[in-house]
Amino acid sequence: MTEQYKKTKIKQSRYQIIAADLASKIVDREYEVGQKLYARSSLASKYGVSSETARRAIAVLQDLGIVQATKGSGVYIQSYEEAAKFVHQLKDVQSVNEIQHDVFESIKKQRDELDRLENLSQELVSRTNRFHSLNPFAPFNVTVNSECLYLGMTIQELNFWQNTTATIVGIKREDEILLSPGPYASIKENDVIYFIGNEASFDVVKNFLYKG
């Protein structure tokens, strides 16, 4: 779904662009009400388009009441107010398109971040498995909640290994995973602590974190 959004682009027809440009010139007072516009052929030459494209641009402005086209007389500016309304509507559409673009960019960044988190998780599992192959330990994890007795303290201050005989191999915090955290890494609420030890380590660590 996101890939489809990434490929979606808003594109205006050439005659719509010309109509918008003429309306903007009316709003900027480059053309006055009652003033005659270029002939279609001149308009086509000015914008480098075909006569049919110029005709369509004039037709858009005429339908909106911005100009009046009379056969044999030419095209005259009819309403400054309608031109201003048209220009404001175009700006609103552009704002919506910009918001849409920002939303799609945000979705892409979130997908990239999820991919990064998945890669980090795989790396954590890979490192734990490698460690497990060299040691008779099994990987465990425990989530830290508000009842933990040691919130804000570092691994060194906890004397974690001395108190549990377990070794912390990673800490997951929100969308990031800190692999092989050093002694100055702190424990915070909602952290997921990954550790290795013997079969009793899981209960020992939980008891230590919540019962002292």
- Splitting the chain (212 residues) into consecutive groups of 10 residues, what average pLDDT does each group show? 46 79 85 80 83 87 86 81 83 59 73 81 70 60 93 93 91 89 91 88 92 78
Question: Would you state the pLDDT for residue 7?
Answer: 46
Residue 161 lies in a domain: yes
61 closest CA partner among 42, 92, 91, 40: 40
Q: Are strands 74-77 and 167-173 parallel, antiparallel or unpaired?
A: unpaired
Output the pLDDT for position 25.
86
End-to-end CA distance of the chain: 49
**35 located within any domain:** yes
* 50 belongs to a structural domain: yes
Domain that holds residue 188: 140-211
Name the domain boundary from 37, 54, 84.
Answer: 84
Residue 55 lies in a domain: yes
Give how many domains the chain has, as a whole number.
2
User: What is the reported pLDDT for 93?
Assistant: 60
CATH of the domain at 37: 1.10.10.10
Q: Which two tokens stand for residue 70?
A: 């009379």
Tell me the C-alpha distance between 8 and 13, whole Å: 16
Helices (H), the chain: 2-7, 14-27, 40-47, 51-63, 80-134, 155-158, 160-164, 201-211
Residue 113 within a domain: no
The CA distance from 68 to 83, in Å, is 12
Residue at which a domain ends, from 84, 110, 127: 84
**Residue 197, domain CATH:** 3.30.70.1450
